[in-house]
Amino acid sequence: MGVETLHTQQKGSLVVVGTGLTLAGHLSAEARRVIIEADIVLALMGDRVVEAWLRTLNPRLERLEDQYEAASSRPRAYRAMSERMLELVRSGLAVVVALYGHPGVFVTPSHEAIARARAEGFNAVMLPAISAEDCLFADLGVDPGASGCQSYEARDFFAHARAFDPSAALILWQIAVLGDGAFRDFAPRPGALAALALVLLDVYPPAHRVAVYAGARLPTERPRIDWLKLEDLHLAEIDQSSTLYVPPLREPSPSPSRLALLESMLSAAER
């Protein structure tokens, strides 16, 4: 069921939207409309300026950041956020959850709340938005279709020894979390960055240029793009929005066996 009919239902509903990265400029017309029409807006912006702007669209706003202060860890805070969303939906309200960036990218509570709301018979949808990855492609001038692109959360990439192809670009998200097993903070950890660099140096040369990237939050800001040698990664200044972009090391090599397989299947189909 589309968003158009959500607010005509007798029972509660849930719409999860993203505000993009840049204040006001990235919000879609559809997301703006449902925010304005909502009975209540639950917001997780991470920025008081953005939050204040959101209140101009709908003053009936509740901050989800407060859940971080009440919980002892990020996973517990995420569960509390999901439960709060469902509590309001069950009470019969048209609930809109506004999240920074894309509401479905690195946002555990949004997926959990939508799945649970649907299972309980409520209308629940997610609207797409501009993500940090979209901004990265634009700000770095990267075409993910040119050489391919691999994308991992930094802790997952490191802890599970993820295999990757150095002939394609590599993006590692939330590098500030590496070394924080409980997700309690995003404090810089030079030792964790040095460990990540050692893993990557098994494949890339020490002088391979990488970028530590953070998108702009306000229209007056510029994205932060710090290019440095891989061997100097531990010297990078990072915060919770920092992402590591590793350009391809070389051109991909054609696979004779794959090309032979394709040729044989095409020939067989023509017979």
Active site residues: 74, 78, 100
User: Could you give the CA distance from residue 12 to residue 149 in angstroms, rounded to a whole number?
Assistant: 40
User: Could you give the CA distance from residue 27 to residue 18 in angstroms, rounded to a whole number?
Assistant: 7
Query: Tokens at residue 263, please?
Result: 């040729």
The residue among 53, 19, 60, 18 whose CA lies nearest residue 39 is 60
How far is it between the farthest Cα atoms of the chain?
69
Q: What b/e sequence results for 70-107 when a residue is b if at least 16 CB atoms lie within 10 Å of its CB, and e otherwise? A: ebeebeebbbbbbebbbebbeeebbbbbbbbbbbbbeb
Q: Which residue stretches of the chain are H helix?
A: 29-37, 48-57, 66-70, 74-90, 108-119, 132-140, 144-147, 154-159, 190-200, 256-270
Query: Tokens at residue 138, please?
Result: 């634009």
User: Could you give the CA distance from residue 29 to residue 68 in angstroms, rounded to a whole number?
Assistant: 30
On the 0-12 / 13-18 / 19+ scale of CB atoms within 10 A, 247 is middle
